[in-house]
Amino acid sequence: MKNNESLNGTLVLVLPDLENNPETKRGQIGVVTYARSASENYVRFLEGNEAIYPAEQVLKLKDKQQVLDDLTKNGSSMPLDDFKAMYKIMLLQDRGTSQAIFSALAIAKDNPGVRDNVLESINPTQEQELAQTVDR
């Protein structure tokens, strides 16, 4: 349960390619208010609305070191616009403010070529499985 609680307050992006979204919030940025389980995560949006999503439909930024490593390793082979977007996201993550993270998520939303490189699901069960593997 501690892993779920650590997601509370995290800025996230609702999967932009999401189909059948009754709340019509796909591609919008919000804040996780309560991460209950892999299938039930409450996200609040700027307008004050709140919706419930499975973890795989809600994306957060990867750790900035992962983004930097990917940029260093694969930067020369990616299109220039994707490189620039990833670089901007990394710099914004380095600032660490909520406004900077919001801007980084907006850049990721607008650049589908970098989404896989900078975004990951908030799936708490993956984190729990990894923690159990390391403990053994």
pTM equals 0.82
Residue 3 has pLDDT above 90, yes or no: no
According to the CATH classification, is domain 2-58 in 2.30.30?
yes
What is the average pLDDT across 15-38? Answer: 80
Residue 133: C-alpha distances to residues 37, 41, 122, 127 (Å): 20, 24, 19, 10
User: What single DSSP character describes residue 35?
Assistant: E
Neighbours of 51 (CB within 10 A): 19
**pLDDT one-digit tens code per residue, 71-114:** 999 989 999 999 999 999 999 999 989 999 999 999 999 999 99
**Per-residue confidence band for 39, with pLDDT thresholds at 50, 70 and 90:** confident
Burial 20-32 (b: 16+ CB within 10 A, else e): eeeeebbebbbbb
Q: What is the mean pLDDT of the chain?
A: 84
C-alpha span between 61 and 114 (Å, rounded) = 11
Domain spans, the chain: 2-58, 61-120
User: Looking at residue 40, what is its pLDDT?
Assistant: 87
Closest CA to 57 of 33, 82, 28: 28
